[in-house]
């Protein structure tokens, strides 16, 4: 049963395997991280964990029963009760509703554990799957922008206060891949 875990040092081997195994898949919809990301992976991970420790970001992994990473969900640029949401889903896990359920859960964590009140995101116009996930999880379009030279939409979601059920809790399933929102590292 997939579960969300807060990023910790022990995730390094599984996270690196996830990034390597899905590199070409991710690069089909967003710019490739480049070889330097993989050769510097340990120091990049330490930097992200330092950001998390300082409260500037919150990184999460969706792992299966064997500890393999199925997805990553990041809340970055945390300030003044808001953050940017980004996520990537492994090719083998895409199209089965994982992104939708994981984004819902991270929205709950953002409000309940991190005290956030607003999340922002962006997706290229051509990334239909990511846009559907955002729509299903209570995000609304707030404007237009460019991501890596491509037309994109910006989104926001106001998070509920304590004791208020989250918006976007329907049971719709996503289709296609869900990669490349802002906040990826």
Mean pLDDT computed over 99-104: 96
Q: In angstroms, rounded to a whole number, what is the distance separating the alpha carbons of residues 108 and 115? A: 10
Mean pLDDT computed over 65-85: 97
- Residues 46 and 62: beta-carbon distance below 8 Å: no
| Strands (E) located in the chain | 3-6, 58-63, 69-79, 82-89, 118-124, 140-147, 150-158
What pTM does this model have? 0.84
Edge to edge, the sheet with strand 58-63 lists 3-6, 58-63, 69-79, 82-89, 118-124, 150-158, 140-147
Mean pLDDT computed over 163-175: 44
Residue that the structure tokens 């996270």 belong to: 15
On the question of pLDDT at 179 being above 50, the answer is no
The pLDDT value recorded for residue 123 is 92
């Amino acid at each position: 049963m997939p579960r969300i875990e807060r990023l910790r040092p022990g995730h390094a081997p599984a996270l690196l395997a996830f990034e390597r195994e899905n590199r070409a898949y991710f690069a089909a919809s967003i710019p490739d991280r480049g070889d330097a990301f993989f050769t510097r992976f340990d120091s990049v991970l330490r930097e992200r964990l330092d950001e998390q420790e300082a409260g500037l970001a919150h990184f999460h992994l969706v792992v299966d029963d064997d500890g393999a990473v199925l997805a990553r969900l990041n809340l970055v640029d945390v300030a003044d009760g808001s953050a940017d949401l980004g996520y990537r889903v492994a090719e083998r896990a895409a199209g089965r509703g994982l992104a939708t359920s994981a984004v819902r859960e991270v929205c709950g964590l953002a409000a309940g554990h991190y005290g956030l009140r607003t999340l922002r995101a962006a997706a290229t116009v051509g990334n239909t799957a990511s846009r559907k996930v955002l729509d299903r999880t209570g995000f609304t379009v707030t404007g237009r922008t460019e991501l890596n030279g491509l037309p994109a939409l910006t989104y926001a979601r106001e998070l509920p206060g304590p004791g208020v059920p989250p918006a976007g809790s329907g049971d719709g399933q996503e289709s296609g891949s869900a990669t490349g929102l802002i906040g990826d590292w």
